[in-house]
Chains A and B, each alone.
Chain A
Amino acid sequence: MLEQVHWIPLIPLLASLAILFGGKEGPHSKMPLLGVAAMGWCLLQSSWILFHALTGRYALPYYHTIPWFSYGDYVMTLGVLIDGPAVVMLFVVTLVSFLVQLYSLGYMHGDPRLKRYYAFLSFFTAAMLGLVVSSNLFVFFACWELVGVSSYLLIGFWFEKPGPAYASKKAFITTKLGDLGFFIGLMILYTQAGTLDLSMLAERAKLGIEYLPLEVATAVGICFLIGAAGKSAQVPLFIWLPDAMEGPTPVSALIHAATMVAAGIYLVARTYFIYDAAPLAMGAVAWVGLFTALLAATMAVVAYDIKRVLAFSTISQLGYMMLGLGVYGYTAGLFHLTTHAFFKALLFLGAGSVIHAVHTNDMREMGGLSKRMPATFLTMAIGTLAISGFPFLSGWYSKEAILHAVYLHNPMMWLVALGTAGLTTFYMFRLVYLTFLGQSRDHHRWDHAHESPPVMTVPLWTLAALSIGSGFLLEHEGLFAKLVSFESGHGGGHEAAHAPVWLGAAAVAVFAAGLAAAHRLYGRGDLSLAKSLRERFALAADALEARYYFDDFFLWLVSLSDRLAAAMHWFDDQIVDAIFVDGWALVTRAVAEAHRFFDDFVVDGAVDGVGAVTRDGGGVLHRLVRGQVQEYLMYVALAMCLFTIILTTR
């Protein structure tokens, strides 16, 4: 099965093409089933590989390449590099994709462009899986861009609405800005190391060969971090992710929560040997992660759009993963990536179920929905407990691991991270209270709300089970660490060291505090206290609602570049062009003078025609239109004659 691993990205790709070009479009198209079946197969194969890898029956890493194209004497390869993290990612991506495709059968039911939706979804999965398995950073980058374009297509799926049309563009351009960093990093790395093959690079790093000087490694690390910040929505490039919620909710669950946005984390993990050799770049990863985690958590506190709360939460949790990686917690960071994929996909799909029922995203128009949709409520509650770090659920294990690593690295950072964990609990329970508990605030919507069909709730329960159990299963006997670990070449690996026992207690205390605060503000059915707090801290709340004005900053940048473009165009039209036009006019004038001279003295008086017209029209070129093209052809002929004369007289 491992030898056939290249089929895991190829099957969804073929399925995507088959869905796109085959069958008939329409709300009752049968083509989506093909996509689901393809994902089912990929899930089986990935599970098989994961199982065998966990039980130690496969010798990892598995590496296989074929030549793709060559330039000079360098051969660019296409290939797979399957190590522990790749195995885990394969499983996560195929599982969530499968569940989301299943769920979409219900959610997208009746959409007139169902076939197209499934083609795009399958294409996304193919690109994402390609990114996961690729052995070469160039191919990794190619897939990286392809997941970006699938995200563009899916955010803008309902393109007739102005919101999605704008959001899709914003997402593409913002991530592209980060991609430029990635691109530059690739050029630096290639120029210095002479290859982009991950296996070869890691090999050299392991042997301790000085293949990358410190400053080059730092530069590459920072450049890759910029790329990762774009894709994984880190500060300051996170601005696209909240808007990306304009896409269909299953898409948000799959792409903008569980898989694609984790690609940046995965990039840092894949090139971890570079960061390991460059402490400065590693530090940057940690700080970017910490800031992102904190800022996004505060923004989630004031949002009322259920999907945006989850989007901010995603950003914050991605920051957590970054932070984990940045403090040498390689295993912890990727562990959190895995558990987060389960509970965040669950939360998004749950939110989708709610939106499907009440047809609004605004939590102020919800409330009391637990009575109407118990399955959705229960699974959402499980997801909330998991993300908040309720003991023995999956999020608790991974968050503990990160906090542990952070504490050993820098206790001040730990304090901020801990506070963020409290905020997470707060805003997640706020979401649950506003949506499911208390009294209904919009009776019309409440009356029409209904539980979703099984095709949607089965994925919810599956993910709920994983949100509960995956942490324990993977932590159990150090299974995950066995599969995903990094041997630092420069020390710094704190993971084995022991931290004080009270760390865990502090985390539980913060959880309790967050829950209590949420209960106090939103648990009693009236929101007056929340409102009065909002008024008292209006300035801060405004800043949070405006996302710390990052959007305004980028909009300003856009308008600046627009003005620059307009100025350039003016310069091109009025200055550059004029120089040449007038230059030509001068030349023509001179020629016209010569004509006159020639005519006056040789042809005697036959001057009135072409020469005069051209001479008088000296100012601007468009007068020249009246000059005859024959005249210029004559120049060519003259030149040829001159040429012949020169040749023959030699």
Chain B
Amino acid sequence: MGILSVVIFSPLIAAIALLFLPKEKTSWIRGVGVAGTAVSCIASVFAFLAFDPGTTQMTSLSIQLTEKLVWIPTFNIHYYLGVDGLSLPLVILTTFLCLLAAIYSCGIELRVKEFFFWYLILEVGMVGVFCALDLFLFYMFWEITLVPMYFLIGVWGGPKKEYAAIKFFLFTLFGSVFMLLGILAVYFASEPNSFDMIELMRYSGTWSREFQIIVFLGFYLGFAIKVPAFPFHTWLPLAHVEAPTPVSVILAAVLLKMGTYGLLRVSYGILPLGFEWFLPAFVLIAFINIVYGALCAMAQTDMKKMVAYSSINHMGYCMLGIAAVSATGFNGAMLQMINHGIITGALFMFVGVIYDRAHTRDIGAFGGLGAKLPVYAALMSLACFASLGLPGLSGFVSEFLCFLGAFKAWKLYTILSVSGLLVTAAFFLRMLQKVFLGPFNEKWAGLRDMNARELISVVPLCVLMVLFGVWPSFLIDIMNPTMTVFAGMFPGLFQGLR
């Protein structure tokens, strides 16, 4: 068994182990849950150490740490795993955030056993999506994430949890049905029939443009809903707001990345002609995500909803980078995926911290907390500044690269999208002013600063924000060779952009 299987299935083993624990032993359950995610995280670090990023001069993608077993020979389905510079950073992001959010989850008191069970299953699905190189396997993992998420929101969520959960479920299911059709289409169009994603990339030259466009649209629905791209984003604010804190963290930090990952790996990699056809609409959607998402965020009075809408805005930067179809843009989009995971994950935790204490997330209900909760104020301000793209923090370089890449291809949209940066700054600073600055609101005299559990789960993220901001090479060196090769994979296409 290879290292990637360990990464994927150690949470599953932990989940099964949980079933044998009595539900009263909550500390045991928490221990096993955290341990499962920790093993997965450590294994992914080993995977990272074994990984060789390659050079920008490579002629093809270098898929590494592959594991390939025949699974259902009749249909040529394989248990096929592997990573490259596109997926490995996302795998590490997933396992790392799952570990931190698991630590954060130790504050959950309600039905602990079931919570950790579903949580661990969720991690299996997410890691699997990023590792799978067989479309059938990919689809299976993709669907696996759905059910745990439904229960995690529906049972442990806020006042409107059932509505939010079903809405999330229906939206994503709707998308994945079309994705399934797309998978079938490419399977039957390949000769011999294959689900092998790497193999399928080579077919793109033989498929007609019309075929690729239709199949592209099927996949696009699946991915766009996950990203979420306008107009399929309305499940997100609700799901985020209703979900319990650790689940919001995972939702924002990892689950959304499945969409952008799919766009790059499948939509672009397997169906370049369809992608090329859709690109003008895609960049428009990216622009809408950026500006519209930022404006909607500015209109919010609920902190969590504001952060949720800011996710729509930030995923817009990813899409803009992808629309550039260049090494610069792809690198920017990838960096942005990771950085958004780190930053927004942290922001959701911060919102959770204040909600746990004050039982409100209303921005206007606070005031002057900076004097009372200095640690919390400092760390949350750091995360907000990272999110609005302050240099020295991780969001800056990724946003810059997304814009820089996109500008070459789409001048007008990129210039218009720049206004999103201003709006982002505006709503974050307004929130900081209302919550932390000004005269202290005596109503909150009893609030306590962050405790150890919260600090352990959020400080690593803050450290990474600074680390990747000051020295982006740590991150970008892993992905740059893959991204460069990836962007130049179809030399005959995307001529208008170059």
Mark A residues whose CB is within 8 Å of B.
68-74, 138, 141-143, 145-146, 149, 152, 156, 159-162, 164-166, 168-169, 172-173, 176-177, 180, 183-184, 186-188, 190-191, 561-562, 564-566, 568-569, 572, 576-577, 579-581, 584, 587, 621-622, 624-625, 627, 629, 632-633, 635-636, 639, 643, 646-648, 650
Tell me, yes or no, whether B331 is within 8 Å of chain A by CB: yes
Q: A149-B385, A173-B429 are in contact. List 13 more A-B contacts (CB 8 A).
A: A68-B473, A69-B472, A71-B483, A145-B396, A164-B437, A168-B433, A169-B433, A173-B422, A180-B422, A576-B230, A576-B234, A629-B166, A636-B173
Q: Are B473 and A162 in contact (CB under 8 A)?
A: no
Distance (Å) between the CB of B498 and the closest chain A CB?
12
Chain B residue with Cβ nearest A627 = B166
Residues of A within 8 A of B174 (CB): 584, 587
Question: Cα distance A343–B439 when bound, in Å?
Answer: 36
Question: Is the beta-carbon distance between A569 and B422 smaller than 8 angstroms?
Answer: no
Q: Determine whether B444 belongs to the interface, using a CB cutoff of 8 Å to chain A.
A: no
User: What residues of B have a CB within 8 angstroms of the CB of A184 in the complex?
Assistant: 415, 418
Say how far B307's CB is from chain A's closest CB, in angstroms.
15
A224 CB → nearest B CB, Å = 15
A/B pair count, beta carbons within 8 Å? 178
Please give, as numbers and ranges, the residues of chain B lying within 8 Å of A165 by CB-CB distance.
Answer: 433, 437-438
A159 pairs with B438, CB closer than 8 A? yes
Interface size on B, residues (CB 8 A): 78
Q: Which of the residues B232, B437, B471 comes within 8 Å of A159, measured between beta carbons?
A: B437
Q: Name A172's closest neighbour in chain B (CB-CB).
A: B429
Pick the 10 closest A-B CB pairs, nearest first: A72-B327, A142-B391, A165-B437, A569-B299, A565-B298, A577-B234, A565-B299, A187-B407, A71-B331, A159-B437
Identify the stretch in B23-31, B268-276, B279-287, B397-405 within 8 Å (CB) of chain A at 4 or more residues.
Answer: B397-405
Q: Which chain B residues lie closer than 8 Å to A188 at the CB level? A: 407
- CB-CB under 8 A for A625 and B166, given A176-B422, A568-B295: yes
User: With A69-B397, A576-B234 given, is the CB distance from A166 to B419 under 8 Å?
Assistant: no
Chain A residue nearest to B474 in the complex (CB)? A69
**Complex Cα spacing A69 to B400, Å:** 13
B150, B400, B438, B440: which contacts A138 (Cβ < 8 A)?
B400
Instruction: Give which listed residue, A145, A625, A648, contacts B390 with CB less than 8 A.
Output: A145
Minimum distance in angstroms from B241 CB to a CB of chain A: 12
Interface string of B428-450 (1 = CB under 8 A from A): 01101100111110000000000
B368 partner residues in chain A, CB cutoff 8 A: 159-160
Residues of A within 8 A of B332 (CB): 71
Partner of B231, one of A177, A186, A569, A579: A579
Asked whether B158 is an interface residue with its Cβ less than 8 Å from the other chain, the reply is no
Pairwise interchain contact A183-B421, C-beta atoms closer than 8 A? yes
The CA of A184 and the CA of B403, in the complex, are separated in Å by 9
B250 interface hit (Cβ, 8 Å): no
Residues of B within 8 A of A74 (CB): 328
Cα A643 to Cα B77 in complex, Å, equals 13
With a CB–CB cut-off of 8 A, which chain B residues contact A142? 391-392, 396
Given A176-B421, A176-B422, A636-B143; A572-B437 close (CB under 8 Å): no
Q: Which A residues are in CB contact (< 8 Å) with B421?
A: 176, 180, 183
Return chain B residues, CB-CB under 8 Å to A633. 147
Q: Which of A73, A572, A587 contacts B56 (CB 8 A)?
A: A73
* B297 nearest CB across to chain A (Å): 8
Judge whether B436 and A159 touch: CB under 8 Å. Answer: yes
Complex contact B404–A190 (CB within 8 A):
yes
The residue on B at minimum CB distance from A566 is B299
Interface centre among B143, B169, B370, B433 (most CB of A within 10 A): B433
Contact B296 A191 (CB under 8 A): no
A180 touches B328 (CB 8 A): no
**Which A residues touch B166, using CB under 8 A?**
621, 624-625, 627, 629
Q: Is the CB of B425 within 8 A of A70?
A: no
**Of A183, A562, A572, which is within 8 A of B296 by CB?**
A572
Most buried by A among B75, B166, B233: B166
Asked if residues B295 and A172 are in contact (CB atoms below 8 Å), the reply is no
B414 within 8 A of A: yes
**B residues near A69, Cβ cutoff 8 Å:** 397, 471-473, 476-477
Bound complex: CA A169 to CA B231 (Å): 32
Residues in chain A near residue B234, CB distance under 8 A: 572, 576-577, 580-581
Contact present for B438 and A565 (CB under 8 Å)? no
Q: Which residues of A contact B483 (CB under 8 A)?
A: 71-72
Give chain A residues whose Cβ lies under 8 Å from the Cβ of B437: 156, 159-160, 164-165, 168
Q: For residue A163, which residue of chain B has the nearest CB?
A: B438
| Interface flags, B37-81, vs A, CB<8A=1, else 0 | 000000000000000000010000000000000000011000000
* B204 interfacial by beta-carbon distance below 8 Å: no
How many Å lie between the Cα of A138 and that of B234 in the bound state? 36
Query: In the assembled complex, which residues on chain B have CB atoms less than 8 Å from the CB atom of A146?
Result: 390-392
Looking at the assembled complex, report how far the CB atom of B309 sits from the nearest CB atom of chain A, in whole angstroms. Answer: 8
Q: List 9 A-B contacts (CB under 8 A).
A: A72-B483, A149-B385, A160-B368, A169-B432, A565-B296, A572-B296, A627-B166, A629-B166, A632-B173
Given contacts A165-B438, A568-B292, contact A72 B56 (CB under 8 A): yes
- Given A568-B295, A580-B171, A70–B385 Cβ distance below 8 Å? no
Residues of chain B lying within 8 A (CB to CB) of residue A186: 404
Closest A residue by C-beta to B423: A561
Question: A70 to chain B: which residues have CB within 8 Å?
Answer: 473, 476-477, 480
Q: Collect the chain B residues with CB atoms within 8 Å of residue A621's CB.
A: 163, 166-167, 170
Docked Cα-Cα span, A191 to B418, in Å, equals 16
In the complex where A146-B392, A565-B295 touch, is A71 in contact with B476 (Cβ < 8 A)?
Answer: yes
Q: State whether A162 touches B438 (Cβ < 8 A).
A: yes
**Residue B336 is within 8 A (CB to CB) of chain A in the complex:** no
Given contacts A165-B438, A577-B234, A625-B162, contact A632 B170 (CB under 8 A): yes
Q: A572-B296, A576-B234 are in contact. Are A72 and B163 (CB under 8 A)?
A: no
Chain B residues in 8 Å Cβ range of A71: 327-328, 331-332, 401, 476, 480, 483
Known contacts A73-B56, A173-B422; is A568 also within 8 Å of B438 by CB? no
Q: A192: shortest Cβ distance to chain B, in Å?
A: 10
With the chains together, A177 CA to B476 CA distance in Å?
A: 29
The chain B residue with its CB closest to the CB of A583 is B174
Taking CB as reference atom, which chain A residue is nearest B327? Answer: A72
**Complex CA–CA separation, A629 to B173 (angstroms):** 11
On chain A, the residues within 8 Å of B212 by CB distance are none
Smallest Cβ-Cβ distance to B188: which chain A residue: A650
0 or 1 for each of B152-174: is its CB under 8 Å from A? (1 = yes) = 00100000001100110111011
Nearest B residue to A162 by beta-carbon distance? B438
- Write out the residue numbers on chain A whose beta carbons fall within 8 Å of the beta carbon of B480: 70-72
Contact at B231–A580, with CB atoms within 8 Å?
yes
A188 vs B429: C-alpha distance in the bound complex, in angstroms? Answer: 28
A191-B331 contact given A565-B296, A568-B292, A621-B167, CB 8 Å threshold:
no
Chain A contacts for B408, CB-based, 8 A? 191
Alpha-carbon distance A424/B483, docked complex (angstroms): 58
- B373 contacts partner chain A, Cβ-Cβ < 8 Å: no
With a CB–CB cut-off of 8 A, which chain A residues contact B422?
Answer: 173, 176-177, 180
CA distance A326 to B118 in the complex (A): 66
**In this complex, what residue of A is CB-closest to B297?**
A565
Residue B184 at the A interface, CB < 8 A?
yes
Whole-angstrom CA separation of A561 from B75 in the bound complex: 56
CB nearest neighbor in B for A180 = B418
How many Å from the CB of B320 to the closest CB on chain A?
12
How far, in angstroms, from A138 to B392 measured CA to CA in the complex?
Answer: 12
Let me know if B190 is at the binding interface, CB within 8 A. Answer: no
Q: Complex formed: what's the CA distance from A241 to B226 in Å?
A: 44
B184 touches A643 (CB 8 A): yes
Interface 1/0 per residue, B377-394 and A, CB below 8 Å: 000000001000011100
Given A72-B328, A172-B429: A141 and B391 within 8 A (CB)?
A: yes
- Distance in angstroms from A564 CB to nearest chain B CB is 6
Tell yes or no: B426 within 8 A of A by CB: yes
- Distance in angstroms between the alpha carbons of A627 and B154 in the assembled complex: 13
A633 to B404 alpha-carbon distance, docked (Å): 43
